[in-house]
Amino acid sequence: MRIFSLRALLFRLIPAILCLVLFVGVQAQRKPLYYTEAPLGFASSKIAKSLLKEDMLFWQKVLEESHVNPYHAISKEAMDKLQGNLLSALPDSVTHFQACMAISQLIGALDEGHLGFATNQVSDSLYAYHCVRFPFLPYDFEEGQLIVQRDLSNENKLPPFSRITEINGIPVQQLYERYAKLYGGLEPWRKLQVKNNIRKLLYMDGIQSPFRIKALVDNTPVEFSTEGYTFRQADSMSKIIVAELSVPTQLFSIRFTGDNIALIEFNNMNTKLRDSFALFLRNAFREIRGRKAAGVIIDIRKNGGGDSGLGDTLISYISDKAYCSASGVKVRISSHSKLYAKMNGLPDGFKKWKNGTLYEYKTKELIKPRPNDLRYTGKVSVLIGAGTFSSANMLANALKDFKLATLIGESTAESGNDSGEIFSFMLPNTHIVATTATKIFLRANGDEKDFTGIKPDIETTNSLSDIQHKRDRVLERAIEWIKTGS
- How does residue 12 score in pLDDT terms, banded at 50, 70 and 90? very low
Is 433 strand, coil or helix?
strand
**479 backbone dihedrals φ, ψ, rounded to 5°:** -65, -40
- Asked if residue 437 has pLDDT above 50, the reply is yes
Q: Residue 249 has what pLDDT? A: 57
Peptide bond before residue 135 is cis, with ω within 30 degrees of 0: no
Q: Residue 466 has what pLDDT? A: 85
- How does residue 21 score in pLDDT terms, banded at 50, 70 and 90? very low
- How does residue 420 score in pLDDT terms, banded at 50, 70 and 90? confident
Q: How far apart are CA 486 and CA 482, in angstroms?
A: 8
Tell me the per-residue pLDDT of 331-358, one tens digit each, with 9 for 90 and over. Answer: 999 999 999 999 988 888 898 999 999 9
Terminal-residue alpha carbon distance, the chain: 28
Between the alpha carbon of residue 460 and those of residues 141, 385, 386, 480, the distances in Å are: 19, 10, 12, 12
Domains of the chain: 133-229 (2.30.42.10), 252-484 (3.90.226.10)
Tell me the per-residue pLDDT of 85-140, one tens digit each, with 9 for 90 and over. Answer: 999 999 999 999 999 999 999 999 999 988 889 999 999 999 999 999 999 999 89
- Asked if residue 8 has pLDDT above 90, the reply is no
Other beta carbons within 10 angstroms of residue 361's beta carbon come to 12
Q: Residue 97 has what pLDDT? A: 98
- Asked if residue 7 has pLDDT above 80, the reply is no
- Asked if residue 453 has pLDDT above 60, the reply is yes
- Asked if residue 383 has pLDDT above 80, the reply is yes
pLDDT averaged over every residue in the chain: 90
> What percent of the chain has a predicted confidence (pLDDT) above 70?
91
- Asked if residue 24 has pLDDT above 90, the reply is no
Average pLDDT on 412-438 reads 93
- Asked if residue 19 has pLDDT above 80, the reply is no
Q: How many CA atoms does the CB half-sphere of 193 hold within 13 Å? A: 27
Q: How far apart are CA 264 and CA 273, in angstroms?
A: 16
* Structural contact between residues 473 and 461, judged by C-beta atoms closer than 8 angstroms: yes
Full 3-state SS string of 199-225: HHHHHHCCCCCCEEEEEEECCEEEEEE
Tell me the per-residue pLDDT of 207-263, one tens digit each, with 9 for 90 and over. Answer: 999 999 999 999 999 999 999 998 888 777 666 555 545 444 579 999 999 999 999
Is 329 strand, coil or helix?
strand
* Structural contact between residues 292 and 327, judged by C-beta atoms closer than 8 angstroms: no
Q: Residue 20 has what pLDDT? A: 42
Among 25-34, 308-317, 325-334, 440-449, the minimum mean pLDDT is found in 25-34
Q: Residue 418 has what pLDDT? A: 86
Q: b vs e for 411-434, b when ≥16 Cβ sit within 10 Å of the residue's Cβ?
A: bbbbbbbbbbbbbbbbbebbbbbb
Tell me the per-residue pLDDT of 27-64, one tens digit each, with 9 for 90 and over. Answer: 345 789 999 999 999 999 999 999 999 999 999 999 99
